[in-house]
């Protein structure tokens, strides 16, 4: 590979450019008109406007525009990052047809894991416990009610192609179930262009635990331990921790083993994450994300393994152990603990309403054990209303979880961002909260802790 196009924007585009630069590979960026002044554009060796005349987000979804640019710029491969086209099988197929390597899993894996119903069926076939559910699509509200009679409330109604916490409805009674079905279906259709819906038992107060997997084209596959992503707001992750604390070692190992078993079963290639909910010492499969994730950073910090570089090398056909020098499973390092905070330009005192405008002051923390991945996190940049509000990911690594908590507190305190509002005051409240510090937070922690919002 001599040149790679990154079909993304913001922090993840920059993250990938950096990995490519370190590997001596040329970088090509793309930007929507509204991102003309965005930093990611200037971090690539060359960058081109895409989707001219399209709406801002649609520019990054312009498959044929991106393919045409890739051919013109003579790139060998495309890295899709996360979101946008990263799980789009049609895009991956178009890359293949044009002889451009898609840096991600095979089409077959995108097909299975792009659809949560198929993913669940694959997990069941691999012998992994998943949440009791309809195990197939439901086509009307009656079927949802039948499920509730069989399993009892609460239940959760989910879009098969859902993502980013959208297309999900919790129901505690028949009325909510009927209403939830209709709403989830219409939300799914408008957000994901598909109205397949399925139902699951709603697990009360679970932890969200996910396992990072790397597989190569030679059949080697390893896990890089787990992350605890229980601190969520509206089913979206806010703070992530690696490894999971406050969980018995044998349960942690069992979960990592189950993830590996599933990915071995399907012959997975490249980076992927297997997600589980854990309650009362039971773990249940929920889904696989067949791509790099926002929170891959904390796994990199505890293992010392560069996941994005590994993705690129895997796509070049390299061997996980012989070429990429990842140790055999038993010898993969696990050093201390890491935490990530997603700093967004949202106002926690105004229901997390996205704020926009020019960043007048931007002073960031630094020092030992701190890592920052920013998109437009620089003085003088303008935060527009068109895209995701993630400004910078702040990560820390320290010998123990409590050291990491203190380091994160120090890092958040050091930030000075003026001109746009950020969620930093809220994040500080989370980090200082004794439930968080004890490692006991579950997915309902934020909703059930009003003191975080002051």
The set of catalytic residues is: 291
Residues at the site binding ligand ADP, with contacts judged by CB under 6 A = 131, 156, 162-165, 168, 200, 202-203, 206, 208, 232, 235, 275, 277, 286-287, 443
Quick one: which H or E segment has residue 242?
strand 236-242
421 — phi, psi (to 5°)? -80, 150
Give min distance, CB of 180 to ligand ADP, in A: 13
Task: Tell me which DSSP letter residue 318 carries.
Answer: -
116 is in an annotated binding site: yes
Give min distance, CB of 232 to ligand ADP, in A: 5
120 is in an annotated binding site: no
Burial 230-266 (b: 16+ CB within 10 A, else e): bbbbebebbbbbbbbbebeeeebeebbebbbebbeeb
CA distance 324 to 54: 40
> Cα angle vertex 40, ends 428, 288, to 5°?
65
- Per DSSP, the chain holds a count of helices (H) and strands (E) of 15, 22
Task: Tell me which DSSP letter residue 355 carries.
Answer: P
**Nearer residue to ligand ADP within complex by CB, 69 or 231:** 231
Under DSSP, is residue 27 helix (H, G, I), strand (E, B) or coil?
A: strand
235 is in an annotated binding site: yes
Under DSSP, is residue 397 helix (H, G, I), strand (E, B) or coil?
A: strand
**Got the DSSP string for 51-64?**
STTS-HHHHTT-HH
CA distance 322 to 311: 15
146 — phi, psi (to 5°)? -60, -40
Strand partners for 133: 200
Query: Based on C-alpha coordinates, what's the Rg of the chain?
Result: 21
**Got the DSSP string for 254-308?**
HHHHHHHHHHHHTT--EEEEEEEEEETTEEEEEEEE-S--TTHHHHHHHH---HH
Q: Which residues are annotated as part of the binding site for ATP?
A: 116, 200, 235
């Amino acid at each position: 590979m001599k040149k790679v196009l990154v079909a993304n924007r913001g922090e993840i585009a920059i993250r990938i450019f950096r990995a490519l630069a370190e590997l001596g590979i040329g970088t090509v960026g793309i930007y929507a008109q509204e991102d003309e002044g965005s930093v990611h554009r200037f971090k690539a060796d060359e960058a081109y406007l895409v989707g001219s005349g399209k709406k801002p987000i649609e520019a990054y979804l312009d498959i044929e525009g991106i393919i045409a640019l890739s051919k013109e710029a003579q790139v060998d491969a495309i890295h899709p990052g996360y979101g946008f086209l990263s799980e789009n099988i049609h895009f991956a197929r178009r890359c293949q047809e044009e002889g451009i390597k898609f840096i991600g899993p095979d089409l077959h894996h995108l097909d299975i894991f792009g659809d949560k119903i198929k993913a669940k069926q694959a997990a069941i076939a691999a012998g992994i416990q998943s949440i009791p559910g309809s195990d197939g699509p439901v086509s009307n509200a009656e079927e949802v009610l039948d499920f509730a009679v069989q399993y009892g409330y609460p239940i959760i109604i989910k879009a098969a192609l859902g993502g980013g916490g959208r297309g999900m409805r919790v129901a505690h009674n028949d009325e909510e179930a009927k209403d939830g079905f209709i709403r989830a279906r219409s939300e799914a259709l408008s957000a994901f262009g598909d109205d397949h819906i399925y139902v699951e038992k709603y697990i009360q107060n679970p932890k969200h635990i996910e396992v990072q997997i790397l597989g190569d084209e030679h059949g080697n596959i390893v896990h890089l331990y787990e992350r605890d992503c229980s601190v969520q707001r509206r089913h979206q992750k806010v703070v992530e921790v690696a490894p999971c604390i406050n969980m018995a070692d044998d349960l942690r190992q069992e979960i990592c083993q189950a993830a590996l078993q599933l990915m071995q079963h399907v012959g997975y290639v490249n980076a992927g994450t297997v997600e589980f909910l854990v309650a009362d010492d039971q773990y249940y499969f929920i889904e696989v994300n067949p791509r790099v994730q926002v929170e891959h950073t904390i796994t990199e910090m505890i293992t010392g393994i560069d996941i994005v570089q590994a993705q690129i090398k895997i796509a070049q056909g390299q061997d996980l152990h012989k070429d990429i020098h990842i140790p055999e499973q038993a010898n993969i390092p696990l050093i201390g603990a890491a935490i990530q905070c997603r700093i967004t330009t949202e106002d926690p005192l105004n229901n997390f309403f996205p704020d926009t405008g020019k960043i007048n002051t931007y002073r960031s923390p630094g020092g030992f054990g701190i890592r920052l991945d920013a998109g437009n996190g620089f003085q003088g940049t303008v935060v527009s209303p068109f895209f995701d509000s993630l400004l910078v990911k702040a990560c820390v690594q320290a010998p123990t979880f409590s050291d990491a908590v203190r380091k994160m507190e120090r890092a958040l305190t050091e930030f000075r961002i003026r001109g746009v509002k950020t969620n930093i005051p809220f994040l500080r409240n989370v980090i200082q909260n004794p439930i968080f510090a004890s490692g006991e937070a579950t997915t309902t922690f934020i909703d059930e802790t009003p003191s975080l919002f002051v």
